[in-house]
Structure 1
């Protein structure tokens, strides 16, 4: 018997043959690919064969019941959403199931529209099954957006050439990821990929960082430094935020691109380099050209092929996939089962404006996971994470302060306002801990038991 995965949208499990047939017909009428199983044990055996994106199971079944099946499935596919149906459902059943991470809970008889709504929300959340056909060169880019897929198609074509590629895109859209993908798809894939953020290096150090220096070239040059161009020899050099490059450095970069040689600072000898240039910026280079802040001859050297990454708000269909990926990665890092967003919380994420794009989405997901006390992240926590500056990212100092205050509150709650125990948990001495409490306006007495508020 062939074990090639058939891959379906939904695996439906119920010991009632009539109900199994009825529900599967309704789901197939809604254009879903459905596989069925008559027991929990059969479903578990079929899971790797059909690789569903959603599991729907009856709660009460002989042998392995719905919750037992959920626990077994979570061990194999922790990111797979599960909806439980039951004719014997009670509020405690539903509460317990959702606390444990079950996506949805529908009592029988159920409204078909309610079922289809939950199915749609669950499938929006679930990432494609492992072992998909995404090529390795672009595997780090998670998308099902036609806009981004069109960009990737162009990127694959240009990757085979030696043409310089210029990547336009707002901050946080993933320009470096696209540059890495182009490198991996190119004949230079076996060579190094070196990335440098031109705006992050002080202007007086840029020449040394890019082209290298010899020992004693300037104060502090205790040894020779080969530079990033030489480090990228035989591979690709990604110059991010190229629009922030000072004009004098633009002239030196142009010379290197023309001569394919670099001269380290303090040296009289040039070094040949074989490097493909990929560059990017979130700034408008046409405007910089008009203002005389960017050299036209360098612009045309870098901008042989231009690719534009769409902002996250133009590819909202990717948000559930990105969220599922981030949740799985955070869970793996923490060594625990993945959390998930409640359906209404996920809707809020999909509907947000995301001026900071994927980078901001990652920040919000990490914020919510860090503060969630249950496996299901509620809407209130998402609203809180999005609230600051009308959805814009807070500064690093603000984010750090917010986390610190929340942490102190949780420690005080755990210890009932006992500062000695709280300081010990936080691994701080009492004096320092009191200073932290004072800075955040927290009074330990408010967390004590008894008649105190």
Structure 2
């Protein structure tokens, strides 16, 4: 195993020298820096596995370095060296992402133990990220869940985490956000991939045959049952059952489904003994199941059973430039399928795509891109207003204001509504941010 690389930052030369000697003898690879500026330069040249920094230094302090590492070198543990009066500050810094803190004068042997643990944590995190990257690449995850926005990258990361866990998942998202795509990915990236994936649209199955469809029946179980029917749950044994629009499932069947999920066995009508069931359930909804349960429209116990693991899929309007990437992908794909030359989208169309609210999300965008690729429309999105009228492409100023407003709202949300912190993240003066908030009419700065 390669040596753990330590960046040790302190403004006192003797402290740096003695620490470097001791840590090198302890098996670490050590570089030092006298201040935050030097530390940033060192990190720019070569990443470190662990950063150790004094808090109080001339100029920028150790907390500034912590923020820099958190933002630009994600996953690298930062250990703070504190004076007696800095303990409260250091504890607060741990909530902001610091790995640990040691009070001066620190015990050198204890520092070695902390550094070894931090280095191992970083190594494991990097290995996990590498394996996930290989898995994502091998599965074509980036091609099946397209986009580079923070929202979709977060969803992809969470999906990769859930895929390898044998737990049930509740997918939440508006119509057209790609819940079935996510369900297929959860199955395809799981150990159950070689077994059946069975999709059931709970809104499309008539209530009169729902029970038979899911649970099946034995021959002679009722009048007209002249042969045995294998239910979809039994057919899916070993694999995955995807229950789309689960909010539409009749309440009586919700009770039976809850029992199946809890007991992992299914009672087939006409059979005396239940059949063991080894399936993973993935449910999808566009509704707030908890609120629906409070009104008596959905069983709360079923909701809590399904909601042990949840994955939220972001609406298209929150995905920024992903709209353009998705439109171009769908259009090119459809053109190739029909042997057509891809059409280049004009700037006015791209502007209109970014400005549209996309109530139908990716499904609406895909339909629009297909019609554009086939030359059946100009690609301009439409919205209902005084009848079905074409949405005129907004001017550049309006579009830029919309994009700027979205960026500011996101920064404010990430900063918890703190305008000073949001201004720092946006790298603009606090006063400038205040003027933009007033001009753009961003009233509630704690919300997205």
User: When the two structures are superposed, what TM-score results if normalisation uses the length of structure 1?
Assistant: 0.53
Q: Determine the C-alpha separation between the residues in 1 that align with 2:270 and 2:162.
A: 37
Q: What is residue 237 of structure 2 aligned with on the other side?
A: 233
Q: What is residue 136 of structure 1 aligned with on the other side?
A: 139
Q: Which runs of 5+ in 1 are unaligned?
A: 1-130, 395-453
Q: What pairs up with 1:353-372 in 2 under 5 angstroms?
A: 353-372=357-376
Describe the SS at the equivalent of 2:323.
helix
Q: What pairs up with 1:252-401 in 2 under 5 angstroms?
A: 252-372=256-376, 381-383=378-380, 385-388=381-384
Q: 1:68-96, CA deviations, whole angstroms, 9 ceiling, x for partnerless residues?
A: xxxxxxxxxxxxxxxxxxxxxxxxxxxxx
Describe the SS at the equivalent of 2:229.
coil
Q: What is the root-mean-square deviation in Å for CA atoms of aligned residues?
A: 2.7
Q: Which runs of 5+ in 2 are unaligned?
A: 1-133, 391-448
User: When the two structures are superposed, what TM-score results if normalisation uses the length of structure 2?
Assistant: 0.53
Contact 1:165 1:302 in 2 (8 A): yes
Following TM superposition, by how much is the alpha carbon of 1:252 offset from its aligned partner in structure 2, in angstroms? 0.4
Q: Determine the C-alpha separation between the residues in 2 that align with 1:306 and 1:389.
A: 35
Q: Determine the C-alpha separation between the residues in 1 that align with 2:332 and 2:135.
A: 17
Larger relative contact order (Cα-Cα within 8 Å, sequence gap ≥ 6): 1
Following TM superposition, by how much is the alpha carbon of 1:217 offset from its aligned partner in structure 2, in angstroms? 3.9
Q: Determine the C-alpha separation between the residues in 2 that align with 1:306 and 1:133.
A: 20
Q: How many pairs are equivalent?
A: 256
Q: What is residue 194 of structure 1 aligned with on the other side?
A: 198
Q: 1:248-281, CA deviations, whole angstroms, 9 ceiling, x for partnerless residues?
A: 0010001111221112233333221100111110
Q: What is residue 243 of structure 1 aligned with on the other side?
A: 247
Q: What pairs up with 1:45-60 in 2 under 5 angstroms?
A: none
1:221–1:388 distance in 2 versus 1, CA, 3 Å: farther
Contact 2:331 2:369 in 1 (8 A): yes
Q: What is residue 118 of structure 2 aligned with on the other side?
A: none
Q: Determine the C-alpha separation between the residues in 2 that align with 1:340 and 1:274.
A: 49
Q: 1:317-342, CA deviations, whole angstroms, 9 ceiling, x for partnerless residues?
A: 11111112111221122122222321
Q: What is residue 128 of structure 1 aligned with on the other side?
A: none
Q: 1:379-433, CA deviations, whole angstroms, 9 ceiling, x for partnerless residues?
A: xx233x5155589899xxxxxxxxxxxxxxxxxxxxxxxxxxxxxxxxxxxxxxx
Describe the SS at the equivalent of 1:199.
coil
Among candidates 182, 206, 212, match of residue 208 of structure 1? 212
Contact 2:335 2:374 in 1 (8 A): no
Q: 1:256-309, CA deviations, whole angstroms, 9 ceiling, x for partnerless residues?
A: 112211122333332211001111100111111111222222112111111111
Q: What is residue 426 of structure 1 aligned with on the other side?
A: none
Q: Determine the C-alpha separation between the residues in 1 that align with 2:251 and 2:259.
A: 13
Q: Determine the C-alpha separation between the residues in 2 that align with 1:322 and 1:211.
A: 39
Q: What pairs up with 1:102-251 in 2 under 5 angstroms?
A: 134-136=137-139, 138=141, 139-218=143-222, 221-251=225-255
1:141–1:221 distance in 2 versus 1, CA, 3 Å: farther
Following TM superposition, by how much is the alpha carbon of 1:219 offset from its aligned partner in structure 2, in angstroms? 5.7
